[in-house]
Structure 1
Amino acid sequence: MEVPTPDVLARRTAAADPVDALLAVPEGDTRHPLHSLRMQVRMMHLLLTFESGPGEGRLDERLRRYVVRLRDHFAAGGPEAARVPGLIWPLTQFFVSDSDDVREVMDASVANCRAYGGEWEIAASLMFRTHTVVDSSGGLAGVDEDLAELRVLSRRIGDRLVEAQVCSAFGEHAMALGRYEEARAEYEEALRFADEVGAFAESPFLIARLAEIAYRAGDRDTALTVLDRAGAAADRYGVVDSKAFVLMLRAGLAVEDADFARGRALCEAAREECVRGTPPPQFLATLGLVDALVTAGESGPREGLPLLVETFRTAVHKRCADLVVAALVDGSAELLCRLGDHARSARLLGAAAHWRAGRPRPMPDRAYAELAGAAARTALGGERYAAEQAEGAALTPGDVLAELDEAVRDLRPRQPVP
């Protein structure tokens, strides 16, 4: 997905300004000959508006009703919902729905593009669905099939930018499965395609993902070297979200080094970039994990755990990917072990392992889980530790949140009885 640069954002904002009045114009008779054109302009206006700055909390009730009407118009399907800008109508679901029906919306969009669109439009809708599934809770069902079709379509279309995005999607999926060499090859190919067409807003993010692959695989030296490249590219092209991503990864490495002063400075710098950018929920969840671990390093696990619990709560509400919430739970388990709550820590480790569905833990989650697991096993004994883990494997995210809320309550000083 494209990461907008400041100059691009400025142009998009300027482009949005002349049609701001559309928000105040009554829609009128849907049979009017210009109704369809007006709705297309409104959809483009919505995209420009929400890409030009953070959307969190921006929907008042009037605007919410407006977006719902816009969504319903294009959700009805037909040719205009199978081409840009109508093609992007599923985006509206993220602003007006708190339910878990995002995949159904994506399925409807793909089916409509198959009926009324060409190969480029089908590829775009499949790409949208793939990113949504990989970045959301509920597993990875259907991603392999979509990616296989995307590969065929992208090669037939011959659009280098589309091919870059398809390679990036393959890389993201491979990372979720713990197949780091495959992911690295896909991101390198994506970077080659992006450089060929001068997609310099894409390049810093792709380089940063190469750094993350090394980081997750435990290759710190390579991660640091590639982060230098990614940071330089993000600065050169002014890609704010990529700068935040680089800063967050550096903060994670600082935590591993127990350099919490540096970790704090990097977290704060990353949050400053987030204010100027449009970071997705899964990034904010990971940054929240790092921030909580920095706090635990500075002030102890009693101070870090409540922050991590709130991050977990938000990640569950935002339907972040299973692997993201599993990482938050692994970090929580390590803090609980440091607090002596070994039984609860073992249950959380069991939950996180179950949500990973047999996939290996990446670094630094693996390090947290190994530390917590070893301490819990020693404290509980092998038999009870195994029983607590088995109990944890049956927990839902809501169950885990209840466990964590109880753990935080236990940390509060008890009020004396009068």
Structure 2
Amino acid sequence: MLDKMDAGNSAVAQTINDLNAGWRNQVTTVLGVDSTNFQLAQGTLGLQTSDSSGLFLMADAVPPVSTTAYFDASGKNKRSTAYNQLLHALNLSTASDLRDALGDMYSKWIDYRNDASNWKPDTTQRQLFNQFANRYLDPVVKNAGDQVFALAESEPLTIALNNFVNTSFYQEFKDSAGDPVSLPKYSGTVDAAKAAINGGGGPVTIDYNSATADTSSNGTTVHGSASGFYSIFSGGASVDFQSLNELATSSNFSIKGTIGKYGTMTTQAAQWYDGSQVSRSYNAKNDYDVWDKNSNQGDWDSFFSENGSLARRVSQLLLVSDYDLTVTSSASYSKSDYQKISTEARFGVWPFFSGTAKATHEQKFTHNEDGSFSVRYKLDKGKTQIWGATIQSAPN
């Protein structure tokens, strides 16, 4: 992960925020991206993997309120998890009938339904109820409840709940340890990324200087400061770059070079997701015909307020390929400074953090004659990286 800077050093923090804002605005201008809902992204991004698993994880991440964000898909809140909780926070139209049928056992049913340990792949709502009924209900109550469930099977919410656990809408991968992992499918795949790059634009020239950069973020949907960008240099939690951060932010940065190809790729959820249920709940604030008072899965605010778990989603990814860029810090670095950076900043130098010590791009460090420091980044043809995401607000 990126190194966290001393929160007390507000001057350095503000300079890094300005650097992030300036580079984000440069990217949106040069690559023709709509800045009103674009979020600059760095970190452990989807195309560091050889399959679509990383892309699915990134598409499933819930982005923060920020113009710039560090994306570590494994550490992000997941849209699919929040969506599942939302479904369990809503009422079926037959909810009152089921309360009447189950009586005092209704609240126990809700607790059982909301306990993920009771779920298995492809378990429908009616099957789940039968599990519960066989364990806790007498035959008369069980029969009454089953009749209600038979009537509710065609309801959109029931269908949405059943689709969420339908294994055909998930894909199996292996994690870094070789263990199987099942991920919800998205339209953004490795093949789709290749097609987006091949059909995109380029080449373009980059000539950025922080001294003259536009650092404003007025009017943007994803407003606010950086989230996760704390450092100029990144080498892991055990490496202290605080003094070098202060030195680096005392002078200007430039980024010069070319980007061979770029394009955008849509990331729509597969059929495990039903947007109509999100819209239905979003438009029914404090409506307890829609929201279930007995559920402990959340309410309108927990899902849709500014920091709600479904307040935003990734709708597109900005992809780049075949670049050759040199980042230069014009501060004057000593030989020992350079040695520390070149040996310990293994996760990168602003703004091209890789999130891991192994990245798809190559980096080469140089201590220039005037004492300044440069790092050259090259990404070969055929390789692709994610540089940002288009963020949509609920209920889109």
What is the TM-score normalised by the length of structure 1?
0.20
More helix as a share of residues: 1
Structure with higher RCO (Cα < 8 A, 6+ apart): 2
Could you say which structure has the higher strand fraction?
2
Larger radius of gyration: 2
